[in-house]
Structure 1
Amino acid sequence: MTLSPAWLDELRARTLLSALIGKTTKLQRAGREWKACCPFHNEKTPSFTINDDKGFYHCFGCGAHGDAIRWMTDQRGLPFMDAVKELAQAAGMEVPAQDPRAREKAERASTLHDVMAQAEAWFVEQLGRAEGAHARAYLQKRGISEALARKFRIGFAPDTRTGLRSALKEAGDDKLVECGLLIRPEEGNREPYDRFRGRLMIPIRDARGRTIAFGGRILGEGEPKYLNSPETVLFDKGRTLFNLDLAAAASRKANRVIVVEGYMDVIALAGAGIEEAVAPLGTALTEGQLERLWRMDPQPILCFDGDNAGQKAAVRAIGRALPFLAPGRTLRFLTLPGGQDPDDVIRSGGRTAMEALLETPEALVDRLWRHEEAALPLDTPEARAGLKQRLTEHSRAIADKDVSHQYFQDFRQRIDDKFAGPRRDWQPRTGGTGSFRPRKVQDRRGRWVDAPPPPHAATKALNQSGIGPIEARAILAGLIRLPAVIGDHAEPLSHLHFADPALDRVRTALVEAAWRGEALEDEGISTILRRVGGLDLLGKPGRANGLAFSFQRGNADPERARRDLGEVIDVMVRRSELDARIAEATARLADGTDEHAWEEQQHLQREKVETERRLSELREQAEF
């Protein structure tokens, strides 16, 4: 069985190395990389690093180095083909059947790379000749310097039918056709002719910097404005992004990646010093392109033109992305003003103007809400129900249960905030105090019913005593097991209050240690616990306390446990906030000083129920 280099590259690209290694090794985020104690030799200080962008791991202690396949063979001890088959199954790829022609195909692909390199060099040469004068003038008009043109290897295809064919005749017509450089007529015995004529030639490169296709921009009038190479052995349009090779390195420095609509936008941004931009190839973003983007940055910024076509492109991208959203993995959006494109912004205001816009990208959830809210008039109950239904369907499209739930909650809150709650017929109380009480309310179906009595004043006492010792111990045990969560959630942890003073001292000490930048690993945690007398407070780990949080289980997936612990902290903080707001609304209702207090109290009570439901789900997690 022969596996082509292209197939193996695709297998590596579809395998998230940190997720693979994280199944058996405890990882810690270190900027854009991950670190761990090396699984190949004993060490106490992490020297083992994983780089998802480059797809390799490396230990600075023992020198272990490799990719996903090497990990499976060296760490798991699998034979090469068994490692490939297991990775392929996880990636949803079929291992090629034994084919004696596979080696020949791989060798042909290598030859085609050579042909494409020769074509690129010829196009660059033509740009500098007399025939390329108007192409050079066009570049100058667009503000593209000679240095920038060289960086992107921009060339020119003369307006002749056989210029490239003649120049590369030694390669042969068959290879030129297979590369998409020539068109072979189907009828008769007509000779092949050049595909690209009278166009500015922009090379499209793979992640390794090899030219695999071209985009040709017409000079003057004519259609199509841009002509791309057809799909070939080298070029898979749905999995390729323009400028991928250069932007990958730049994105690591800039800590972001920007997606724009066209080649010229990418080149204009690069000319202004913003080099981390890529572009799809004349089509809507595909799932394969989204995966490549997320490997570069978990929150790419999609910068679409402000015109109607640009906004439709944004909505299509959201539709493609929703099923694949995950905790921390999303899209952000930048809509340019006045129908401009990035090239326009750079020309009028330079990098400063573009950076100012990039500072405040719009979250995916905000962009989706804005689109659906403006899609149709919302002046009837049916229209409002339609909005709610559409947003619910978007939430259900998200495969990740937790993210789907968060979207559902967010949309419901926005709907509640936008449309007035139940209307009331308020009847003043006697006594001339100006106070009031609800007599009738209108339910969600528009029927007038007797108002329920207000909650008992005991509501004010909710949660004043703090979080109970069982839940408090569970949270602290989780923080000690997963100390990275302390730094990530120091702010919300500072707002929690544990009923048990001793447990609350431990919580406070951990938060203060995080703010001071103390070590929160192993001996550092033990030192903090000894300092506040917390070593004997937490009891045995696991489910002995009757709860089933994932972060209490030793066999839980580390990433899932960290995510659940963070959400439990956030939910408990929200619960405490709701209790305080409910108590305030109840007090205003009792005083009769606020005619909106009853409505606010009921809304908060509903949100409290939903919060408790989510907390209950997290207590009873069954899958990890």
Structure 2
Amino acid sequence: MLTPQWLDQLRSRVTLSAVVGRSVRLQKAGREHRACCPFHNENSPSFYVNDEKGFYHCFGCGAHGDAIRWMTDHQGLAFMDAVKELAAEAGMDVPTPDPKMARAAEQRDSLHDVMAAAQAWFKASLAGAEGAAARAYLATRGFDAHTVERFGFGYAPEGRQALKEALSQFPEAMLVEAGLRIVVEERDPYDRFRGRLMLPIEDARGRVIAFGGRILTPGKTDAPKYLNSPDTPLFDKGRTLYNLHRAAPAARQSGRIIVVEGYMDVIALAAAGITDAVAPLGTALTEQQIEMLWRHVETPVLCFDGDAAGQRAAMRAITRALPMLRPAHSLRIVRLPEGLDPDDLIKARGAGALQDLLGQAATLVDVLWEAERDAVPLRTPEDKAGLKARLMAHVETIQNPDIASLYRRELQDRYSAFAFPKRENTWQPRGGGFQPNRNGQKGGKWNGKPTPAPSSPESISRLNSRHAPGARRDGLSAAVIAGLIRWPSQLPRHAEALARAPGMDPRLAVLIECCGGAEALESAAIATILRNNGTQMPSPVEYADLRFGFLLPDVTEEQAAMELAQAIDLLVERPVLEAALAQATARFEAELSDDAFTEQQRIRKRKLEFDNRLRQMATRHAS
């Protein structure tokens, strides 16, 4: 039996453009391929193949599918023949039939029949006399007949045995397994949904797999307002997104998918003409649902309610997404006005107001920073240190090293600007040698004296004595110093992080001492300051084995700033890792325990990963 997991693996191992390209001449178009559609006659190309998302689509005739669908619809193969041919190409063995799995598949097919019959009965009940209250509620929501029909609204009558009697052609056990009936000890089974407005929940193929029900009887405080089907062989709420089978085609046109809190929000948006919305089903957005969204768009937009619960839901989604972030894939978040959900906002201000908010969605890093900054009052140094610890704890969960490095630098910059606002420059070298530039241009200049005066001997001595014992003048430090001298505008940005690094190269201490002003120094001024404090410019020989991009002659300042930030992250992180590894090794040698060994190996693995990151970055531009 072919499981969904096995079929997903098969699709991931096949390059769709290669399969389609055997019989259709494809042209590269950005990140996709295009051609004249092979399913209908046309003169200009409207047929696109997207390898990243694993599907083809024609904007002319609507043809859509994956590699298996291509083999069946275009090549004319039977499903199993298509699977076997693709599996041979991918080097995969087709699983042999399993009698148990075959019986399970037959059982799922039978449950689909049960759910289809239940949906037909719920719809008929809504149209009958007993559905009057449900129809009245739909009218108050402003849903027209087209919306009611499109989303399949129904009604579950009162009565503990009504559904069983209506679906008497199915055994009781099947109704229970489908989640439509409840079995409790010492009581007769009874219908799960009673006196509720019913809404079908469908899978990617549009088949009913579950139901959601909203209570209609006022005053029933002991019953939940919304009730969903339990997990069944057909329905896994953590792996299902409501309305995805409708939103996915709309997303191919709009280039976005909106995630709202509940299915009634989805329907309210659809009624207002916004058709690319989905919703989780009674749970916070899961990792599996985020992956499902990324298959369709790279940056889904979360649009949760403006109350505290909605903001908590957004933060839960962010914390789940952080470990999964990969290049070009993230989330954006819309902040609705406090106390309003999407339906309220549309009714009060119109669909255009919501469209405007969607166009101003905040980035994930923006929301993360603001949420942690505003989480608790920041009155004391301890409070501010707690903010930094929380931010860095989030960064540690990011698995992609490049994204983690960029998040660390971005959040450290914001934290430094918040916790250490710039002050007026009070540093004046003896003799008045260096004067900040006052004409609005970057940098500074020497006032004509042949030699600038050094920083005060007391401050330089203090810095050197603090950092010299463990100082390491290795290639990484030398390269970072050379980079800061070449790009002096970056020095104030990184001074606070470098100042906290143990074992700092004394030359870095001199640079940090000289960057207290709001104006950046010029490269020549920094070189002179180093010489006059008894230190030398880093020589290319010191970092001969490390060819960093920010030292290349033709690099832009934007590129240099990004790579220099990554190198400084490595420089700051290295002594901390080395100290932790030394401590763990000493503990293991003293205890010889399993826990101590496990901890040592964990840190050793992190150190190896660190070394690999340094090696990759340092040799990225090697010729």
TM-score (norm 2): 0.64
Residue 157 of structure 2 is matched in structure 1 by 158
Shift, 1:150, TM fit: 0.6
Deviation at residue 32 of structure 1 after TM alignment: 7.9
Structure 1, gaps ≥5 residues long? 38-44, 60-64, 463-545, 550-563, 579-603
Mapping 1:136-535, distance limit 5 Å: 136-185=135-184, 187-188=185-186, 190-219=187-216, 220=218, 221-222=220-221, 223-420=223-420, 425-426=426-427, 452=513, 458=524
Matches within 5 A, 1:37-56: 49-51=48-50, 55-56=54-55
Distance 1:157 1:258 in 2: 30
Give, as a single letter, the amino acid of the residue that structure 2 aligns with 1:420: F
Q: 1:243, CA displacement in angstroms?
A: 0.6
| Structure 2 counterpart of 1:330, one-letter code | S
How big is the shift at 1:286? 0.8
SS in 2 for 1:296: coil
Distance 1:459 1:430 in 2: 15
Q: Is the 8 A contact 2:409 2:569 kept in 1?
A: no
Contact 2:406 2:566 in 1 (8 A): no
Greater Cα shift, 609-618 or 310-319:
609-618
Q: Distance in 2 between matches of 1:364 and 1:568?
A: 31
1:480-523: CA deviations, max 9, x gaps? xxxxxxxxxxxxxxxxxxxxxxxxxxxxxxxxxxxxxxxxxxxx
Report if aligned partners of 2:10, 2:87 keep a CA contact under 8 Å in 1: no
Q: State whether structure 2 residue 99 is matched by structure 1 residue 116.
A: no
Q: Which residue of 2 aligns with 1:535?
A: none
| Structure 1 CA distance for aligned equivalents of residues 7 and 188 of structure 2 | 36
1:386 CA drift (Å): 2.8
Contact 2:17 2:49 in 1 (8 A): no
Equivalent-residue separation in structure 1 for 2:118 and 2:265 (angstroms): 24
Partner secondary structure for residue 212 of structure 2 = strand
Q: Alignment partner of 1:171: what SS?
A: coil
Q: Matched residues in 2 for 1:28 and 1:401: separation?
A: 34
Measure the CA separation in 2 of the matches of 1:72 and 1:405.
43
CA shift in 2, pair 1:607/1:56, >3 Å? closer
Note the C-alpha offset of 1:404.
1.4
SS at match of 1:156: strand
The CA deviation at 1:377 is 3.3
| Cα 1:71–1:386 shift into 2, 3 Å | farther
Name the SS for the 2:164 alignment partner. helix
Show the 5 A alignment for 1:43-82: 49-51=48-50, 55-56=54-55, 67-68=66-67
Name the stretch that deviates more: 380-389 or 240-249.
Answer: 380-389
Partner of 1:521: none
- Residue identity matched to 2:345: V
CA distance in 1, matches of 2:46, 2:173: 51
Does structure 1 conserve the Cα–Cα contact (< 8 Å) formed by 2:16 and 2:55?
A: no
Which aligned pairs between 1:99-114 and structure 2 lie closer than 5 A?
99-114=98-113
TM-score (normalizing by structure 1): 0.64
- Partner Cα distance (2:383, 2:18) in 1: 46
CA RMSD, 1 decimal? 4.9
- Given that 1:202 and 1:214 are in contact with CA atoms closer than 8 Å, whether structure 2 keeps it comes out as yes
Equivalent AA in structure 2 for residue 105 of structure 1: A
**Distance in 1 of aligned mates of 2:564 and 2:547:** 25
SS in 2 for 1:169: coil
Cα distance, 1:458 vs structure 2: 2.2
Q: 1:115 to 1:318 in 2, by over 3 A?
A: same
**Could you tell me how far 1:84 is from its partner in structure 2?**
5.4
Residues 109-151 of structure 1: CA deviation (Å, up to 9, x unaligned): 1121121111111101111111111111111111111211111
User: Counterparts of 2:9 and 2:195 in 1: how far apart (Å)?
Assistant: 38
* AA at the equivalent of 1:300: P
Task: Quote the Cα distance in structure 2 between the aligned partners of 1:14 and 1:237.
Answer: 24
What amino acid maps onto 2:213 in structure 1? G
Deviates more, 1:230-239 or 1:26-35: 26-35
SS at match of 1:200: strand
| Displacement after TM superposition at 1:157 (Å) | 0.3
The Cα offsets for residues 34-87 of structure 1, whole Å up to 9 and x where unpaired, read as: 4599xxxxxxx999952469844599xxxxx9845699999xxx9967965997
Distance 2:15 2:225 in 1: 40
Partner amino acid, structure 2, of 1:337: P
2:531 is aligned to none
Q: Identify the match of residue 556 of structure 2 among 555, 573, 578.
A: 573
Q: Distance in 1 between matches of 2:563 and 2:87?
A: 54
Quote the Cα distance in structure 2 between the aligned partners of 1:200 and 1:155: 6
| Residues 447-501 of structure 1: per-residue CA shift (max 9 Å, x gap) | xx99856877626999xxxxxxxxxxxxxxxxxxxxxxxxxxxxxxxxxxxxxxx
2:555 aligns to what SS in structure 1? helix
Rounded Cα–Cα distance in structure 2 between residues aligned with 1:88 and 1:138: 56
3-state SS, counterpart of residue 159 of structure 1: coil
2:247–2:276 Cα contact (<8 Å) kept: yes
- Residues 252 and 612 of structure 1, relative CA distance in 2, 3 Å threshold: same
> What secondary structure sits across from 1:356 in the alignment?
helix
One-letter code aligned to 2:211: F
State the alpha-carbon separation in 1 of the partners of residues 54 and 142 from structure 2.
36
Q: Distance in 1 between matches of 2:555 and 2:128?
A: 70
Q: Distance in 2 between matches of 1:30 and 1:225?
A: 49
Deviations 1:231-273 (A, max 9, x none): 1111111110011111111111111000000111000000000
Displacement of 1:14 in angstroms is 6.9
Q: CA deviation at 1:96?
A: 7.2
Q: Write the letter of the residue equivalent to 1:122.
A: W
Shift of 1:387: 2.4
Distance 1:548 1:46 in 2: 45
Report deviation, 1:382.
Answer: 3.3
Inter-partner Cα distance in structure 2 for 1:218 and 1:568: 66
Cα deviations by residue, 1:203-239 (Å, 9 ceiling, x for unpaired): 0000110010000111133321111111111111111
Contact 1:28 1:35 in 2 (8 A): yes
Matched residues in 2 for 1:27 and 1:375: separation? Answer: 52
Does the 8 Å contact 2:369/2:411 carry over to 1?
A: yes
Going from structure 1 to structure 2, the CA distance change for 1:356 and 1:15 (only over 3 Å counts) comes to farther
TM-superposed CA distance for 1:346, in Å, is 1.0
Counterparts of 2:317 and 2:266 in 1: how far apart (Å)? 18
Q: Decide whether the 8 Å contact of 2:16 with 2:67 is kept in 1.
A: no
SS at match of 1:375: coil
The one-letter code matched in structure 2 to 1:373 is R
Change (3 A) 1:418 1:433: closer
